[in-house]
């Protein structure tokens, strides 16, 4: 089928000080086998040369929005959403990159499952030497139904969703982390979703995680629960609040004792041989491309 006959996919990318990595992210989008896409990039008040890099893009499929001041992830993602158009919406962060078949694989699942509202895939985490170290998000692969109080059991940034439904939910601008978990908890309510066991999204995790980011994420997870408490059952709210509070205290006390690799590795599993080869081949194709 001609790509022009397939759904239009809108890729959204908030970025703050992403000059070191954003070109690889963009290149992986340009190298997708699926061609019917557009991309909305919101530069969230970057103070490095992110703006200069983005202003050099001539491809008219890109919509570039520069914010004068840093507003935070929740705010930037909402701006992305408000400027999106098309049929399906998906995500690409500025320090990550796609497998060449990422969009093709997810669109195919939507085309064959009309009731599915979200399709997620596996995420591979790599270090500053471009070695893939862990895999997340495929433990619960298959079809699911999301109900009030359920945990998000996929990696949000790997998701593709239906734009018409996406516009009925909104991001909390007061959250600078865990904003995606908050959003998908609303978007998915009482809906079917699918988790693929293909690892099609790669995340520069081992250098982007720090003590302060770990604490910030846990603190914002706690904030998210309080913002959502009126939509949750009392028992679920109390249980989740105790779990997140305990994690926050544990991170504060033991992060430097145990080391950040402990916190990263516990979130995933070691990649198998096939996953290592797919990562290496994807990276090789990008390095050899003439785009």
Q: What is the pLDDT of residues 142-201, one digit of tens each?
A: 999 998 878 899 999 999 999 999 999 999 888 777 788 889 999 999 999 999 999 999
Name the band, by pLDDT with cuts 50, 70 and 90, for residue 230: low
pLDDT tens digits, 17-33? 999 999 999 999 999 99
Is residue 87 within 8 A of residue 40, CB to CB? The reply is: no
Predicted local distance difference test score (pLDDT) of residue 262: 58
**Closest among 94, 90, 117, 85 to 103, alpha carbons compared:** 90
Q: What is the dihedral of CA 154, 160, 165, 171, to 10 degrees?
A: 60
Q: Compute how many other C-beta atoms are within 10 angstroms of the C-beta atom of residue 69.
A: 6
Per-domain residue ranges of the chain: 3-207+270-288, 211-258
Question: What stretches of 138-233 show up as alpha helix (H) in DSSP?
Answer: 163-166, 179-187, 205-208, 211-227
| Model confidence pTM above 0.75 | yes
Is residue 104 within 8 A of residue 110, CB to CB? The reply is: no
Please list, in sequence order, all residues whose beta carbon lies within 8 angstroms of the beta carbon of residue 152, skipping any fewer than 6 positions away: 181, 184, 185
pLDDT tens digits, 104-139? 999 999 999 999 999 999 999 998 899 999 999 999
User: CATH class for domain 3-207+270-288?
Assistant: alpha beta
Name the band, by pLDDT with cuts 50, 70 and 90, for residue 290: very low
pLDDT tens digits, 40-72? 999 999 999 999 999 999 999 999 999 999 999
Please list, in sequence order, all residues whose beta carbon lies within 8 angstroms of the beta carbon of residue 3, skipping any fewer than 6 positions away: 34, 35, 36
What secondary structure letter does DSSP report for 16? S
Predicted local distance difference test score (pLDDT) of residue 210: 54
- 225-229: average pLDDT: 61
Stronger pLDDT, 267 or 145, i.e. the higher one: 145
Predicted local distance difference test score (pLDDT) of residue 188: 96
For residue 229, give the 3-state DSSP assignment: helix
What is each CA distance from 174 to 74, 84, 129, 186, 242, in whole angstroms? Answer: 7, 21, 34, 16, 22
């Amino acid at each position: 089928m001609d790509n022009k006959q397939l759904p239009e996919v809108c890729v959204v990318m908030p970025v703050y000080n992403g000059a070191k990595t954003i070109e690889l992210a963009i290149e992986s989008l340009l190298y997708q086998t699926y061609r019917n896409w557009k991309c909305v990039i919101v530069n969230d008040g970057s103070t490095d040369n992110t703006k200069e890099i983005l202003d050099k893009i001539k491809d008219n499929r890109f919509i570039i929005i520069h914010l004068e001041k840093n507003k935070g992830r929740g705010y930037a993602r909402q701006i992305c959403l408000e400027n999106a158009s098309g049929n399906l919406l998906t995500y690409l962060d500025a320090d990550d990159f796609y497998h060449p078949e990422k969009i093709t694989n997810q669109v195919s699942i939507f085309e064959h499952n009309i009731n599915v509202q979200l399709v997620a895939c596996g995420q591979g985490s790599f270090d500053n030497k471009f070695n893939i170290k862990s895999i997340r998000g495929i433990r619960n692969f298959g079809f699911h139904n999301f109900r009030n109080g359920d945990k998000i059991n996929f990696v949000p940034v790997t998701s593709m969703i239906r734009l018409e439904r996406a516009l009925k939910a909104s991001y909390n601008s007061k959250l600078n982390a865990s904003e995606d978990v908050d959003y998908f908890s609303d978007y998915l309510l009482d809906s079917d979703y699918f988790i693929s066991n293909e690892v099609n999204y790669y995340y520069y995790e081992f250098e982007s995680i720090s003590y302060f980011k770990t604490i910030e994420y846990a603190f914002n997870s706690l904030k998210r629960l309080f913002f959502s408490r009126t939509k949750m059952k009392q028992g679920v709210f109390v249980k989740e609040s105790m779990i997140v509070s305990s994690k926050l205290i544990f991170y504060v006390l033991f992060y430097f004792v145990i080391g950040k690799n402990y916190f990263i590795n516990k979130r995933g599993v070691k990649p198998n041989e096939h996953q290592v080869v797919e990562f290496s081949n994807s990276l090789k194709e990008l390095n050899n491309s003439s785009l």
